[in-house]
Amino acid sequence: MGDTGVFVPYGATHWAALTVGVLGAVALVALGRRLRGTPAEPGVSRAFAVVVVVLLVPLQLRLLTPQTFDVHISLPLQLSDLSWVTAAVALWTRRWWACAPLYYWGLTLTPQALLTPATDSPDFPHVAFLHFWALHLLVTWAAVYLTWGAGVRPTWRGMAVTLAATIAWATVVLPFNLAAGTNYGFLAHKPSNASALDLLGPWPVYLVVEFVLVAVGWAVITWPWTRRREREPA
């Protein structure tokens, strides 16, 4: 596509994308609740999974072509890359080990990217803009749909598995970043744009603080669900 300018945080396109995100989430919750427990619901969930794959696989492959490849952004090493694959698996299978990471990644880490996106990305309608927002909105929508629409609930076991998976991802990606001079997951240094990481100290201190805050935050969003189950009659 032609020159579309640089994306401006909290400009018109940012607010428009966030509005689409909120409206889509509300619609999916309503749809999920209406279909919950009906014969049609598994088919709708799997159709959602197909949409995720059909939209995001070509966009990811585009980054790997010689014309667009850049080792700093093209490799599927972001946690968001793992998140959209997890979203597709969770929507298709409903397996707890896929639904759990989707809940925690899709409702805490992914929204952070939506609220504080990189300032040097192209603006709408550039394909890079569409890729970023499609990926992050679909992951968030899938998490919202399964949790509040379809009624898939988090558990302490799911939280523990997600923490372990996140640590495993960081253990692989951090050495790659240091060797290749990349910054996938902002594990090598903070993003150039303002973000919550600016409040957490220098590298590598902010990585440790971030992990602790994430663990505490995930516990906070797990406890109400488990507490509710404890109160339900046997």
Per-residue model confidence as pLDDT tens digits over 202-229 = 999 999 999 999 999 999 999 999 987 6
In a domain, 79, yes or no: yes
In a domain, 67, yes or no: yes
pLDDT tens per residue, range 79-123: 999 999 999 999 999 999 999 999 999 999 999 889 988 767 789
In a domain, 49, yes or no: yes
Q: Is residue 231 pLDDT above 90, yes or no?
A: no
pLDDT tens per residue, range 15-61: 999 999 999 999 999 999 999 999 999 999 999 999 999 999 999 99
In a domain, 21, yes or no: yes
Domain count, the chain: 1
Question: If pLDDT is split at 50, 70 and 90, which confidence band does 66 have?
Answer: very high
In a domain, 6, yes or no: no
User: CB neighbours (10 Å) of residue 131?
Assistant: 19
What is the model's pTM? Answer: 0.92
> pLDDT at position 121, please?
76
pLDDT tens per residue, range 126-137: 999 999 999 999
Range of the domain at 135: 12-231
In a domain, 162, yes or no: yes
> pLDDT at position 199, please?
87
In a domain, 5, yes or no: no
> pLDDT at position 116, please?
85
In a domain, 7, yes or no: no
